[in-house]
Structure 1
Amino acid sequence: MTTETARTDGALAGLARFCYRRRRLVLLTWIIGVIAVAFVGFSYGAASDNDYSGGDSDSAKAQALIEKHFPEQQGDTLTLAIKAERGIDDPTARQKIEKVIAELDASPITGPVTSPYQDEDLVTEDRRIARTTIPLTDKDVKKAEVKPLVDAVKDASGDGVTLGLGGDKAEKAETPPQGSGESVGVLAAAVILFIAFGSLVAMGLPIVTGLMAVLGGIALMKLVGHVVPSPDFTVLVAALIGLGVGIDYALFILTRYKDGLQDGDEPESATVQAITTAGHAVLFAGTTVVIALLGLVAMGQKMMTGVAIGASVTVLVTMIAAVTLLPAFLGFTGHKINSLRLPRRTSRRRRADGVPSRERRTPAERWAGVVQRKPLAAAILAGAILLALAAPALSMRLSLPDASVQPHDRSSYTSYEILSEGFGPGYGAPLIFAAQVDSTNADLRPVVEAVRKTEGIAYATQPRISTDGQAAIFMAFPRTGYQEEATADLVHELRDDVLPKASGGEEIYVGGPNAGAIDFAEDTSSRLPLMITVVIALSLVLLIALVRSVTIALQAAVMNLLSIGAAYGVLVAIVQWGWFGPALGFPTDMPVTTWVPMMMFPLLFGLSMDYEVFLISRIREEYERTGDTRRAVTRGLARTAKVITAAAAIMIAIFTTALLGPDVSVKQIGLGMAVAVLVDATIIRMVLVPAVMELCGKANWWMPGRRARKATSAAQAAVGEGARV
């Protein structure tokens, strides 16, 4: 089957014709479908599940014991922190403090509140700082119900008394919504598209297609959450990814459609060719992103499986929209695709053979020539820059954000600051010890005493036995905070040395949110190599099948690893080391959020393969036509530079808008992915690819078998044609 046949025959061609000719039906179906799915999904979608525990870790076993034998411990709590400059017994301060406690106690969502005036253990020796715990009556209490309590506490501060309300529910209640970040990203994408196309109509189609696809995808994702629950940050991540790939995929197809019109094709014929060439490449690229995302399932973690499925659903919807909704839109626009055009100077025609004249060589062609004249030097320089950017990643630490890394105007941070001053930084990072016992008379006092004497422990409570006499728990507070490396070292010392000696061989588990976060980070670090291996292996198989070259597939894998490594390194330098962190919206230096690097890898590997497909396919086509690798690389860069640059700019614009939001974890993934796309579109595509391909020469096209150099399927030819965009 020839390339020309691939343009006009086959399932994709038939789908394109149907969507073009029945455009009103297709558009109406999409509008009704998106509205219906959005209504059902946002009204009846599954609640988010942020539980990262589970498995065989110590913290998971401790949590299982607590849930089984101490059901009264399962309720969520808030912590009121109090600091009075003149002491809490000052009449003015006491009046204010007791009023706040009364308001908290009277709330319909709280249980009985113990006043620090009734329990001396809740007050520091100098009686300047106090605390109390507020139990919540409902485990599923909503943010809107907790927010008034947070506001009441913040409003009561003043006149020498500082109050802060902490706890997971309070922290979430005062975290503002993501806001207009995505809107800014869409606006930036619109500007980039207008510059690239010079037409308001052409600019609008990718935007509208991407927005409709993302809305439907996120709503569908919330429904899928009933089967595979996902954490609350999945919506933000899916929105970032969906907007990025949705607009980019429409951009690739629309560019090919405009080329068809310029070549004299009728709108329907140009639409069919765009879908069977660039559209086919979009399906391949989107499938690569989905497969890479599903590599997260190899982590064996319930939370990340939910993220993988949820984000994959959104990407699938954007793929479907690109090859169905966009052809329908093209049916309405036809030749008017260039309407409302930006005035431009008419360019001179190309020579009859399609090769630009010498004086009309594009900047991309001239740049490729520079790199190809000194390929070894260019490769070494690019590699050195990438390795230097990646170097900080060697010191990456993983953790989950807590109140200590939140903006300093938050009530939860005020609570953390007061409690750290009065009761030590480890007060917000308690360790909960759980053990099975055989009676209510079980004696854990030797264990408690051994823990209390351990260096790094500030205080340990007395043990409690469950009412059924089968389990016991006690708590200990480290001298160091939740985010400090010394706290993780302390947990390991307790597990590996202190507890085995003190317990006489009995199993005592260290749990609690602090230990759970440590176990989650270490489990992630241990499984990350497996996920990377799975994603690389699957992507290599797909790329080899597409470009029919083992050499180029291996080049792509190595270069993608370098760009992702560079993104990791920059992320560590900014987030963990604090370089320019405050300027980019990070309140303080902090470890990288545990799920961010494992989420970034499959996403970036898949997105990098998108650009690889469009660039290498075009280079392959030119090589098969001329047999000249150098010329093929030059022409391939020239024909794809504009669209890849525009696509990368859109991705970067959308990802960086995450920095405008309030969630420090989403900020991290947005920053890391923007850096990776920038590195990929510049150092990788513009320097390393032409340099390495020049060095490899004919070895670029090595493939086992006598017929390796021949395209063996119309699909491959169609995707190669897709690189014309």
Structure 2
Amino acid sequence: MMTTESPRTDGALAGLGRFCFRRRRLVLLTWIVGVIVVAFVGFNYGAASDDDFSGGDSGSARAQELIEKHFPERSGDTLTLAIKADKGIDDPAARQKIEKVVADISDSSITGPVVSPYQDASLVTLDRRIARMTIPLSDKEVEKSDVKPLVDTVKHASDDSVAFGLGGYMAEKAETPPQGPAESVGILAAAVILFIAFGSLVAMGLPIVTALLALAAGLALIKLVGHVVPAPGFTVIFGVMIGLGVGIDYALFIVTRYKDSLRDGDDPETATVTAISTAGRAVLFAGLTVVIALLGLIVMGQRLMTGVAVATSIAVLVTMIAAVTLLPAFLGFTGYKINSLRLPRRASRRDQPVDALSQRRTPAERWAGVVQRRPLIAAILAGGFLLMLAAPMLSMRLSQPDASVQPRDRSSYISYKILSEGFGPGFGAPLIFATEVDSADADLRPVVAAVSRTEGIAQATPPQVSKDGQAATFTAFPTTGYQDEATADLVHKLRDDVLPEAPGGEAVLIGGPNAGTIDVSEESAERLPLMIGVVIALSMVLMLSLVRSVTIALQAAVMNALSIGAAFGVVVAIVQWGWLGTAFGFPTEMPVTSWVPMMMFPVLFGLSMDYQVFLISRIREEYERTGDTRVAVTRGLARTARVITAAAAIMISVFMTSVLGPDVAVKQGAVGMAIAVLIDATIVRMVLMPAVMELCGKANWWMPGRRAPKTVSAPPAEVEGGVRV
């Protein structure tokens, strides 16, 4: 007896879809009012970002605690003014310009007392051409908008005879422009893709409007949650990228299913219920996979990455809720007009008569046949290519961006160049030594001498004891720069060999921004495998509950890990090796930012599982109807290729538009995620997955204790989006 499955009309999701359709005015009003209220509260009273990655029990964190406790006068932010005069700073014309700048900075309400280079000879090089000046900020709560006038003053004072550069963390923040039009460009690109995919302005607009409303609420909630779980500044940018991408994609799958139901003869309400019962179910599974993967960041044990995990998970959750509540309300308003304002084009294959369909195969079906005829060769070639792309990952170095990797027209980079020329590249990478002492008479000179003799140290300052006589500190400058691997090796050598052998050196800690970056990067590298394992394990459990196959869950985990590894390798080649780096907006070669791999893996694993969910759901449905894996894979690819390709294209466009922004660390993550989605949607989904499933045959559907599925001979239903009908 031939049977076919119909979407449930009595389940919770069906009831939700029906309610939202019938009470669409109430649902829409609730969403609009809710978004306005949440946005007003969140954007006006949300928490400020926290970019302090220090903390924990590392040596640099404990050194910072000592300094803040016993040297409060040194715990505030500072700026560094770098000066280069071709004729020397004593030239009358140059001196007039320099003293004018010094006076303007001294008169600022946010700066403390400053010492001019003309008052301290140690601030000037021997040839008197290059000088520096440390500028303390009077208030720890100084905003970047307060520092921007100082940056502008320094820039405007520079000319061909005297160059000025203002460096320091706050100076870098002050002159970094906002993200700009990147999100707008991403939305425009998504609109074009949706218009091409749907051929209708109305159908194109629904996913975008749904995603934008959800994104506004999600970002406001991220700001509010920041009061409880602090998060760094890049969280909002990634929240926009991820929320916008998945929001449009999830709405795309539901709208596609709705259009298919209308074409099959359903009325708008039935089509909405069908779409939410089928595609909506897949959206919930896919979204939960992304959330679980993101929450895997908590395993890293870093408070700010925990904030990133919670914040971005909220953005995804809001988009999920919007997809299954707000979108059905919109569908209630559009009804049969979903195809209004169409793009003139020839009838698609899906609109042709059934007998014509039987005579023609889609490109996806023909491609699946090519792969399935030589599955072993296809699997070896695809797997080998992915491993080749992943190979550079073995040389990945982690760090944090500093002035040396900023755009060349930034004042902070000019400051770095001047100071490196005059005082050595290690001047921007100071190592701050701190230790507890018994009295103000404590003698750290043997430790300072041992550090000064160490190869790789340019010079060390005399030790200073705190006013309370309980702590002492001194600073050493490496001969290498902040981003150099030799600087990290030097820190390890000092900690492991030099300090333990020096009298009284066992208790001395090494801190400062440079050592802090090294500690955070190494801690991230150590914990990354644990996070990867947790994310894969939890995602496999969720996949098992959906597809009910151990084999497919394992395949998904391995193939997703391969595609992400390949993306990591490409990021290393672009960012660290400099291959096509300038094309993506990277001023120079640089290590990968320490949080980028941590952020990329859970996001990409979750997104890869999204496409796996939609595709495998459709393949499994075909297998239960036919009992033939080859036919199931062929039909599954044919039914989902167009919509998954559109979804991937949207995600890639949203990610790549972030390359237009100014933040080099965000660029790294955006490029990596765009490449990973491209690899996943092409090599993995179109080559590796069908090849591996062909090789596994009936073993694809192995699940302990489950009977073989009954097969029927019903013709395949016309379903798009990889969801059960």
Bucket of the pairwise TM-score, normalised by the shorter protein:
over 0.9
Aligned to 1:476: 476
Distance in structure 1 (CA, Å) of the matches to 2:90 and 2:38? 58
Distance in structure 2 (CA, Å) of the matches to 1:662 and 1:487? 27
Aligned to 2:593: 593
**Is 1:666–2:666 an aligned residue pair?**
yes
Structure 1 residue 159 displacement after superposition:
3.9
Aligned to 1:686: 686
Aligned to 2:332: 331
**Is 1:363–2:367 an aligned residue pair?**
no
Please list every run of 5 or more consecutive structure 1 residues that lacks an aligned counterpart in the other structure.
712-716
Please list every run of 5 or more consecutive structure 2 residues that lacks an aligned counterpart in the other structure.
712-716
Structure 1 residue 112 displacement after superposition:
1.1
Q: TM-score, normalised by structure 2?
A: 0.97
Per-residue Cα deviation, 1:568-612 (whole angstroms, up to 9, x for no partner):
011000000000101110000000000000100000000000000
Aligned to 1:533: 533
- 1:350 touches 1:356 (CA, 8 Å); kept in 2? no
1:78 aligned partner, one-letter code: L
- 2:7 touches 2:724 (CA, 8 Å); kept in 1? no
Structure 1 residue 544 displacement after superposition:
1.1
Aligned to 1:714: none
Distance in structure 2 (CA, Å) of the matches to 1:664 and 1:609? 28
- 1:460 touches 1:477 (CA, 8 Å); kept in 2? yes
Structure 1 residue 217 displacement after superposition:
0.1
- 1:280 touches 1:722 (CA, 8 Å); kept in 2? no
Distance in structure 1 (CA, Å) of the matches to 2:525 and 2:703? 35
Aligned to 2:166: 165
How much is the aligned-residue C-alpha RMSD, in angstroms? Answer: 1.7
Structure 1 residue 462 displacement after superposition:
0.8
- 2:292 touches 2:538 (CA, 8 Å); kept in 1? yes
Structure 1 residue 465 displacement after superposition:
0.9
Aligned to 1:222: 223
- 2:640 touches 2:721 (CA, 8 Å); kept in 1? no
**Is 1:297–2:274 an aligned residue pair?**
no
Distance in structure 1 (CA, Å) of the matches to 2:263 and 2:607? 29
Distance in structure 1 (CA, Å) of the matches to 2:277 and 2:406? 49
Structure 1 residue 706 displacement after superposition:
3.8
Aligned to 1:17: 18
Aligned to 2:80: 79
Aligned to 2:714: none
Per-residue Cα deviation, 1:599-653 (whole angstroms, up to 9, x for no partner):
0000000000000000011000000000000000000000000000000000000
Distance in structure 2 (CA, Å) of the matches to 1:468 and 1:4? 79
- 2:636 touches 2:722 (CA, 8 Å); kept in 1? no
Counterparts in 2 of 1:297 and 1:549: CA distance versus 1, 3 Å: same
2:273 aligned partner, one-letter code: V
Higher mean Cα deviation, 327-336 or 33-42? 33-42
Displaced runs of 4 or more, over 6 A: 348-352
Per-residue Cα deviation, 1:210-249 (whole angstroms, up to 9, x for no partner):
1111111011010000000000000001000000000000
Aligned to 2:580: 580
Aligned to 2:542: 542
Q: TM-score, normalised by structure 1?
A: 0.97
Structure 1 residue 143 displacement after superposition:
1.4
Distance in structure 2 (CA, Å) of the matches to 1:257 and 1:5? 14
Higher mean Cα deviation, 63-72 or 475-484? 63-72
- 2:115 touches 2:133 (CA, 8 Å); kept in 1? yes
Aligned to 1:503: 503
- 2:151 touches 2:171 (CA, 8 Å); kept in 1? yes
Aligned to 1:645: 645
Distance in structure 1 (CA, Å) of the matches to 2:108 and 2:200? 57
Counterparts in 2 of 1:8 and 1:118: CA distance versus 1, 3 Å: same
Aligned to 2:51: 50
| 1:446-525 matched pairs, under 5 angstroms | 446-504=446-504, 506-525=506-525
| 1:273-352 matched pairs, under 5 angstroms | 273-347=274-348
- 1:639 touches 1:724 (CA, 8 Å); kept in 2? no
Distance in structure 1 (CA, Å) of the matches to 2:70 and 2:710? 67
Equivalent residue pairs, number:
717
Aligned to 1:138: 139
Structure 1 residue 672 displacement after superposition:
0.1
Per-residue Cα deviation, 1:248-285 (whole angstroms, up to 9, x for no partner):
00000000000010010000110011001100110110
Distance in structure 1 (CA, Å) of the matches to 2:503 and 2:316? 51
Structure 1 residue 466 displacement after superposition:
1.1
The DSSP-based 3-state class of the residue aligned with 2:148 is helix
Aligned to 2:69: 68
1:188 aligned partner, one-letter code: A
Distance in structure 1 (CA, Å) of the matches to 2:78 and 2:63? 19
Aligned to 1:619: 619
1:360 aligned partner, one-letter code: R
- 2:219 touches 2:236 (CA, 8 Å); kept in 1? yes
Counterparts in 2 of 1:466 and 1:130: CA distance versus 1, 3 Å: same
Higher mean Cα deviation, 504-513 or 231-240? 504-513
1:335 aligned partner, one-letter code: Y
- 1:49 touches 1:229 (CA, 8 Å); kept in 2? yes
- 2:84 touches 2:131 (CA, 8 Å); kept in 1? yes
Counterparts in 2 of 1:193 and 1:76: CA distance versus 1, 3 Å: same
Aligned to 1:111: 112
Distance in structure 2 (CA, Å) of the matches to 1:340 and 1:205? 13
Distance in structure 2 (CA, Å) of the matches to 1:100 and 1:334? 66
The DSSP-based 3-state class of the residue aligned with 1:82 is strand
Counterparts in 2 of 1:29 and 1:132: CA distance versus 1, 3 Å: same
Distance in structure 2 (CA, Å) of the matches to 1:231 and 1:706? 47
Distance in structure 1 (CA, Å) of the matches to 2:388 and 2:61? 39
Aligned to 1:552: 552
**Is 1:388–2:420 an aligned residue pair?**
no
Distance in structure 1 (CA, Å) of the matches to 2:655 and 2:505? 51
- 2:292 touches 2:535 (CA, 8 Å); kept in 1? yes
Distance in structure 2 (CA, Å) of the matches to 1:374 and 1:45? 57
Per-residue Cα deviation, 1:480-510 (whole angstroms, up to 9, x for no partner):
0000000000000000000000034631110
Counterparts in 2 of 1:231 and 1:328: CA distance versus 1, 3 Å: same
The DSSP-based 3-state class of the residue aligned with 1:7 is coil
1:556 aligned partner, one-letter code: A
| 1:702-717 matched pairs, under 5 angstroms | 702-707=702-707, 709=709
Distance in structure 1 (CA, Å) of the matches to 2:723 and 2:141? 51
